[in-house]
């Protein structure tokens, strides 16, 4: 089995790259999806978040009011408090799911999509070096990343000037909390550039896939 971490900044196109790898046969684990599951009512992570951030982050139906939680975390410099709750549980669950996949398919290539592989302080004693055999970075120009964030946040495209300014400021705050791409690239095995048409990213993924297959075979032999 080959354990691959795929990372990149806000709006870089990590999920798009993962969908392309999935089409080739990779098993994809999304850190965001795992975290969302752990933040559902009844989960210990949910209880810890409500206890720490108060009733304002809870909707009438009991689910977390995620936009308010995100605004509190990023606007009032409480992201570390939130991460201290979410990250350890998410990483533990990633490891559990990876082990389950390995038991079912010893030759599997498991790709964990996570924006904060390098940023998190909760990856265990050796952090990402222990959890992954290979690392992939997805990059894109910052202007394009912010534009993608706006499109994702307001898919109907209707934004007032004030809303646009607020969302752009939010995106820039999030980007500022992440390690710059040039520093991440020095730690990664492969870099995918996603600043052009989808076909360019598809070509890069197609070129990289045989290298991952070869690495998986070597890993299995050792």
pLDDT of residue 79: 86
Mapped to the 3 state alphabet, what secondary structure does 162-196 carry?
HHHHHHHHHHHHHHHCCCCHHHHHCCCCEEEECCC
For the cut 90, the answer to whether the pLDDT of residue 18 exceeds it is: yes
Please give the residue that has the higher pLDDT: either 116 or 222.
Answer: 116
Of 144, 145, 135, 142, nearest to 114 (Cα)? 135
Please give the residue that has the higher pLDDT: either 147 or 193.
Answer: 193
**What percentage of the chain has pLDDT greater than the value 70?**
95
Strand locations in the chain, DSSP E?
2-8, 27-30, 109-113, 134-139, 190-193
Give the 3-state secondary structure of residue 34. Answer: helix
Full domain range(s) for residue 15: 2-221
**What CA–CA distances, in Å, run from 42 to 57, 70, 83, 94, 165?**
15, 20, 19, 20, 36
CATH number of the domain encompassing residue 43: 3.40.50.300
For the cut 90, the answer to whether the pLDDT of residue 204 exceeds it is: yes
Contact 98, 91 (CB under 8 A): no
Please state the separation of Cα 122 from the chain's center in Å.
15
Model pLDDT for residues 113-164, shown as the tens digit of each residue: 999 999 888 875 557 888 999 999 999 999 999 989 888 877 676 778 888 8
Q: How many domains does the chain have?
A: 1
Model pLDDT for residues 50-96, shown as the tens digit of each residue: 999 999 999 999 999 998 998 899 888 898 999 999 999 999 999 99
């Amino acid at each position: 089995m080959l354990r691959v971490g795929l990372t990149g900044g806000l709006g870089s196109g990590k999920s798009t790259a993962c969908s392309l790898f999935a089409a080739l046969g990779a098993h994809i684990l999304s850190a965001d999806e795992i975290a969302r599951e752990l933040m559902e009512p009844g989960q210990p992570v949910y209880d810890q978040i409500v206890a720490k951030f108060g009733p304002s982050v809870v909707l009438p139906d009991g689910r977390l009011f995620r936009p308010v939680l995100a605004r509190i975390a990023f606007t009032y410099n409480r992201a570390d408090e939130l991460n201290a709750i979410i990250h350890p549980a998410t990483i533990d669950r990633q490891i559990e799911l990876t082990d389950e996949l390995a038991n079912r398919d010893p030759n599997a290539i498991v790709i964990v999509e996570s924006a904060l592989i390098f940023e998190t302080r909760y990856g265990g004693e050796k952090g990402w070096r222990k959890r992954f055999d290979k690392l992939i970075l997805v990059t894109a120009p910052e202007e394009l990343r912010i534009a993608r964030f706006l499109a994702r946040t307001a898919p109907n495209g209707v934004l007032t000037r004030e809303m646009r300014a607020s969302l752009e400021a939010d995106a820039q705050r999030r980007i500022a909390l992440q390690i710059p791409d040039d520093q991440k690239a020095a730690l990664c095995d492969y870099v995918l550039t996603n600043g052009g048409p989808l076909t360019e990213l598809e070509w890069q993924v197609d070129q990289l896939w045989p290298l991952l297959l070869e690495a998986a075979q070597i890993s299995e032999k050792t």
